[in-house]
Structure 1
Amino acid sequence: MYRKPPSSPVHGRTFTQEARRAQIVEATIETLAEMGHTKTSFTAICKHANLSSTGLISYHFAGKPQLLREVTRTIVARAGTLRTSRVVREATYRGKLVAYIASYFDFVDRYPAHARALVEIAALVRERPSAELDDVARSALSVESLVTLLEEGCRAGEFRIADPPVLALTVQGALDNVVRHHELFAVAELDHLARELTEIFTRCALSP
């Protein structure tokens, strides 16, 4: 008779432990999105996760920096998967830039809590810089993939950009601010905002 094997460890943890960690991470994302980073405590996260004690969080994460590190990794990975799936389908670098911008708005539309949580994490690491959060800051604020896209577009002769890192920072800053403005005032539909920003930045990338 076939017997189901016992739970095997994943990175030294059982599947049950992995599931609990994932539950805590998702609850942290929801708490950050709803309450902001200043009010996101282990107690608040416990309420979202329906946990009986903050000790259950401490069992899986040594402290808030470790938890934020995993939250950031989860959000960035999810956004990256969505972005890559759209960008790789494009044959031209202009198409890839359009897909990059569109994927940002797609992510905000599909995962609004994740997008807001990442903004809160970015705000936290800017307001309270510390060595413990250095890697969180690098991940939350990174524009590396966009810089690579722009640089490759230049080498291919499609783009004419004097300083790709500066343009990458400008693009990402515009995306973040436009979405935040949209959340506060709902001045336009996300697809309209995506089209307008796409037009602006593809013109910048193609200008001599």
Structure 2
Amino acid sequence: MGRTFTESGRRAQIVRAAIEVVAELGYAKASFSRIAKQAGLSSTGMISYHFAGKDDLMHEVVAEVTRVTGAFMAPRIEAAEGARARLRAFIESNVELLALWPGHLKALIEVLPNLGGDDPATVGYQASMHLLMEQQEQAVRAAQEAGEFREFDARLMLVALRGAIDAVVMRWVGDQDFDVAGAGRELADIFDRATRAEP
């Protein structure tokens, strides 16, 4: 039996509050009482009604962050014409998330390590990242065959790109005044020069 509109709305309210609390206080201090207060609930009972426990709630936090980031990035990447433009859109939209959804990304950084490597949410997130890497590798090879990208090890380039984006994220975590938009543009320029076919 599906959830009612009211139940779905309440769950979403609790997840939003959980994201805000985890982002501000960290995973360890994100108690049900703090989350209930953030959500404007009179007690923790409503959280316990909707979620089996903290891990269950944190699974939904991971799912919500994944939904939000995908919904933001996908249209921008799909609207770009050509492999070089899609690469730029991927990098810039990925980094732009830091400015638009700072709490979501902070929460994700906090939650995943605390759930543990064998937790279903962690395994699922890693599986989705692995699938994304495979899809990107295929797209890079297709762009190489079409002459848009030069010859290079596609997997190695994508690993380097992922590492560069993660480094920008960690720099931003430690410095909230960091110019993320500028970093996104500069990173896109770097990888455009690194991948494009010679004129």
- Separation in structure 1 between the aligned mates of residue 86 and residue 166 of structure 2, nearest angstrom: 19
Q: Report the CA distance between 1:137 and its aligned residue.
A: 4.3
**What value does the CA root-mean-square deviation take over the aligned residues?**
2.4
- The share of aligned pairs that are identical, in percent, is 34
Distance 2:140 2:16 in 1: 36
Aligned pairs, how many? 193
Asked if 1:142 is matched to 2:129, the reply is yes
**Contact 1:37/1:120 (8 A) holds in 2:** yes
**Normalising to structure 1: TM-score of the pair?**
0.81
Q: Please list every run of 5 or more consecutive structure 1 residues that lacks an aligned counterpart in the other structure.
A: 1-10
Label 1:176 to 1:71 Cα distance change in 2 as closer, same or farther (>3 A): same
Describe how 1:86-105 pairs up with structure 2 within 5 A: 86-105=76-95
Aligned to 1:59: 49
Match of 2:141 in 1: 154
Partner of 2:157: 167
Q: Which amino acid aligns with 2:27?
A: H
Instruction: Tell me what 1:44 maps to.
Output: 34
Task: Look up the equivalent residue of 2:80 and give its one-letter code.
Answer: E
For the Cα contact (< 8 Å) 1:161–1:206, is it kept in 2? no
- How far is 1:188 from its partner? 4.1
CA distance in 2, matches of 1:105, 1:31: 22
Separation in 1, partners of 2:9, 2:177: 39
**2:132 is matched by which residue type in structure 1?**
S
Aligned residue identity for 2:140: G
Q: State the partner residue of 1:3.
A: none
Deviates more, 1:39-48 or 1:144-153: 144-153
Deviation at 1:167, TM superposition (A): 3.4
Structure 1 residues 173 and 204: CA distance shift in structure 2, 3 A: same
Alignment of 1:18-33 (within 5 A): 18-33=8-23
Please state how far the C-alpha of 1:105 moved relative to its aligned partner: 2.1
Judging changes above 3 Å, is the alpha-carbon distance between structure 1 residues 20 and 76 closer, same or farther for their aligned structure 2 residues? same
Highest RCO, 1 vs 2 (Cα 8 Å, sep ≥ 6): 2
Q: Structure 2 vs 1, CA of residues 123 and 170 (structure 1 numbering), >3 Å: closer, same or farther? A: farther
